[in-house]
Amino acid sequence: MTSVPPRLPPAIELRRVAKSFGTVQVCRDVDLAIETGEFVTLLGPSGCGKTTTLNMVAGLEDSTSGDILLAGRRVNELSPVERDVAMVFQNYALYPHMTVAENIGFTLRMRGMKRAEIATRVTAIAASLELSHVLERLPAQLSGGQQQRVAIGRALVREPRIFLFDEPFSNLDAALRVKMRAEVKQLHQRLGVTSLFVTHDQEEAMSISDRIAVMNRGRVEQFGTPEEIYARPATRYVASFIGNPQIELMPGTVEAADGRPAVRLGAQVLPLPGDGRFRPGQKVEIGIRPEHVRLGAGDLSASVRLVQPVGPLSHVVLDWDGGSLTATLPGFSRLQPGERVSAAISPDDMLVFDQETGLRL
Ligand SMILES: Nc1ncnc2c1ncn2[C@@H]1O[C@H](COP(=O)(O)OP(=O)(O)OP(=O)(O)O)[C@@H](O)[C@H]1O
Ligand SMILES: [Mg+2]
């Protein structure tokens, strides 16, 4: 007889979770299933409900309706401690009069764990976070990044089933943020603790996550891998939230040119993929990512407005009679403002959205 191994329930599952504060609904219809060991990010602008969602998973906030399950067990009524989750917040206040070792071991002491075992655990965590050489220092004697790692160590030392992060790097400078991103990702690769991470920074989300839930006004608009949400955004909103420089969106109307679908943008007509997705007269919005604009050939005539070198790439903003367009070119561009260029966009690279619903066609 062959036996199929039983499928584990998701480590974290939200089923039609909603939250209202008084009459204001801030989360609605949130459905998410996060597998054991996954690193998932809630991404969205300020006020979209990321922290509220995370707090409902942690048990710091009640949901108004819906179910929250951890490892298949409904936990709506359980306290944060009973849920066995650890959180790292944006404002990770360390105890200023305690050493790094004491800060990391604090929750274990509170639980009455034996000194020797606390020391073993703290030593191991400190080594994995490269804090071994600062264990006897006070928080004031640490850099911002080291303080952040102490806060992570304090949460990790409990060996939680689940790790929740709420914008943990937002108080750090840009360079340190990028460094901490890599450290948290490596830590996750090593320890494999299921993690739910909140940020409003799309690049941070893209670089760190197995999957991203893009939130908009209390709802999850798309839940997918970084590649899926970048290359195949479900909606115009997701397309415009992800990517730097932003995708260029232009309203247009589908028409037939020589029996093939095309889109009119201002005075220009650009061919669309001929796969039957479009019908003449349809009001659409065309999305073009900067790396898909090829300069030096093609039917689009444009003039250079602005050249912004960013090291390995240059972002070139173009004006044409359909609007503006940004192209990303390798290296330092020699183009000058006012220069005329021709540009080409492959129909297969265009993202086409329904103007009314915002859904990708
Ligand atoms: N206790 C509360 N009472 C009333 N409204 C609240 C409360 N907490 C949050 N809100 C509102 O709920 C909405 C979602 O807030 P939330 O903190 O979840 O957003 P967020 O996505 O984490 O934003 P940010 O990126 O700014 O942290 C906001 O409009 C906020 O004003
Ligand atoms: Mg928040």
CATH number of the domain to which 102 belongs:
3.40.50.300
Is residue 359 a part of any domain in this protein? no
For ligand 1, whether the C-beta of 26 sits within 6 Å is yes
Q: Which residues of the chain have pLDDT under 50?
A: none
Each residue's pLDDT tens digit, 64-84:
999 999 999 999 999 988 998
266, 336: one domain: yes
How many domains in the chain?
2
Q: Ligand 1 centre from 132 Cα, in Å?
A: 37
127, 214: one domain: yes
- Give the residue from 202, 232, 262 where a domain finishes: 232
154, 67: one domain: yes
Is residue 331 a part of any domain in this protein? yes
Atom of ligand 1 nearest to the CA of 49: 18
33, 181: one domain: yes
- Give the residue from 172, 200, 232 where a domain finishes: 232
**What residues have their beta carbon closer than 5 A to ion ligand 2?**
51
Structure pTM? Answer: 0.90
For ligand 1, whether the C-beta of 21 sits within 6 Å is yes
Q: Ligand 2 centre from 175 Cα, in Å?
A: 22
16 lies in which domain range? 12-232
215, 272: one domain: no
For ligand 1, whether the C-beta of 51 sits within 6 Å is yes
Is residue 242 a part of any domain in this protein? no
In this structure, which residue's CA is closest to atom 13 in ligand 1?
47
Is residue 349 a part of any domain in this protein? yes
Is residue 131 a part of any domain in this protein? yes
77, 184: one domain: yes
For ligand 1, whether the C-beta of 206 sits within 6 Å is no
For ligand 1, whether the C-beta of 28 sits within 6 Å is no
In this structure, which residue's CA is closest to atom 29 in ligand 1?
47
192, 92: one domain: yes
pLDDT of residue 2: 63
111, 20: one domain: yes
- Give the residue from 232, 259, 291 where a domain finishes: 232
Is residue 5 a part of any domain in this protein? no
128, 42: one domain: yes
pLDDT of residue 141: 94
CATH number for 315: 2.40.50.140
For ligand 1, whether the C-beta of 48 sits within 6 Å is yes
115, 91: one domain: yes
Count of beta carbons in the 10 Å neighbourhood of residue 277: 13
Q: Ligand 2 centre from 55 Cα, in Å?
A: 10
Atom of ligand 1 nearest to the CA of 22: 4
227, 178: one domain: yes
Is residue 238 a part of any domain in this protein? no
Is residue 171 a part of any domain in this protein? yes
pLDDT of residue 229: 97
186, 283: one domain: no
For ligand 1, whether the C-beta of 333 sits within 6 Å is no
Each residue's pLDDT tens digit, 229-266:
999 999 999 999 999 999 999 999 999 877 788 998 77
